[in-house]
Amino acid sequence: MPEPQRHTRSTYFFKIRVFLIRIASAIGVTFCLLVLTACPQDQTTLQKNETIQLKKQIAKLESVIQSLQEGNKVLQQQINRLNQESRKTEASYKAKLKEAKNQITQLANTPKKDVATIQALEQKNKKLQRDAQWLRSQRDHMRQSLVIQQIGGQTRELPFAFPTVSPIMQDAFTKNGYTILTTMQSDQKAIYITDRKTSLPPSLEQSGFRNQYLAMIEKGPANHTTIWVRAEFEKLSRNGHIYAAPQAELADIEMRFIQEIHKTLARGSAAQAKKF
């Protein structure tokens, strides 16, 4: 067979082969598209997307809570520092005032040539008194700045000193499984906000709950302490529905917490009395 004819036939068969390969590829792609369009929507993908969104929301909430905790920690440190500085300054003013009074007493019997010195010391004494009064007003203003709106909840007066009640409050929250989210405290008042605690329903017949405490203790007269507790208590059903608890049940939960604080303080006081 002549060389040109063989070359022409080879080219012709090669083109036919390429054409058949392209047809087979097109049929395969079409079949895959038909299979994909015939399959139902993958519910698992939707659930994964929802899970990812929930995780993002949880991460944002955790970031906000962490920021609040850090901010409250810085605020508490500043309050403690101001308390310490104000006490040191007041003690310094009192010492200087006492020293000035002693000098005035010593100079009261000196000759008249020392009258100018006495008058200068008296002016210094008056200035120290004004400074001490200003310092006391600043401390009172800082104490009053710790204000919480007491809506609802239960209030009782405990016959125990404020420094004794404060650590018992923190121990009671921890003992009952509550993490203290925020604490703001001065030498007259302390405010506590716990994290939300959730308990899932143990069975179909019994409901679970979720709860968060907002509490405050304040120094009262005659070494007494006023305690206020409010519970954000909600019931949780087996299918995840949340509904409010009756007001009577809320009041009972709040009173039980106050009674637990009172019993703990009473036991500690009795144990202390036995040592004497």
Task: State residue 53's pLDDT score.
Answer: 77
Is domain 154-274 annotated with CATH 3.30.530.50? yes
Of 16-25, 28-37, 94-103, 237-246, which gets the smallest average pLDDT?
A: 28-37
Q: Where are the alpha helices (DSSP H) in the chain?
A: 3-38, 43-107, 115-145, 162-175, 247-274
pLDDT for 79: 76
Q: For 45-68, what is the mean pLDDT?
A: 74
Residue 130 has pLDDT above 50, yes or no: yes
Mean pLDDT of the chain: 76
Phi–psi pair at 171, nearest 5 degrees: -65, -40
Residues ≥6 apart with Cβ < 8 Å to 242: 210, 234, 235, 236
At a CB cut-off of 8 Å and minimum separation 6, what does 158 contact? 165, 224, 225, 226, 227, 261, 262, 265
Looking at the predicted structure, is the pLDDT value of residue 35 above 50?
Answer: no
Judge whether 195 and 212 are in contact, CB under 8 Å: yes
Mean pLDDT confidence for 252-268: 92
Give the separation between CA 139 and CA 133, rounded to whole angstroms: 10
| 141 or 127, greater pLDDT | 127
Report residue 21 CA to chain centroid gap: 69
**Cα–Cα distances in angstroms (integers) from residue 120 to residues 64, 96, 115, 126, in the given order:** 57, 14, 9, 10
Q: What are phi and psi of 14, to 5 degrees?
A: -65, -40
Distance CA 214, CA 173 (A): 11
Q: Look at 149 and 83; give whichever has higher pLDDT.
A: 83
pLDDT above 70 as % of the chain: 69
Look at 10 and 27; give whichever has higher pLDDT: 27
**pLDDT interval class at 39 (50, 70, 90):** very low
Distance (Å, rounded) from C-alpha 232 to C-alpha 254? 10
The burial of 211, by beta-carbon neighbours within 10 Å (0-12 exposed, 13-18 middle, 19 or more buried), is given as buried
Per-residue pLDDT at 107 exceeds 80:
no
Residue type, 57: Q
The Cα–Cα gap between 132 and 92 comes to 10
Least confident among 10-14, 68-72, 196-200: 10-14
pLDDT band at residue 7 using 50, 70 and 90 as cut-offs: very low
Instruction: For tokens 């909840």, name the residue.
Output: 153
Task: Give pLDDT tens digits for 114-123.
Answer: 677 777 788 8
Q: How far apart are CA 265 and CA 257, in angstroms?
A: 13
Q: What is the pLDDT of residues 92-106, one digit of tens each?
A: 888 888 888 887 777
Q: What are the residue ranges spanned by the domains of the chain?
A: 1-32, 52-141, 154-274
Whole-prediction pTM: 0.49
Model confidence pLDDT, tens digit, residues 151-195:
788 999 999 999 999 999 999 999 999 998 888 887 888 889 898
Name which residue leads in pLDDT, 74 or 255: 255
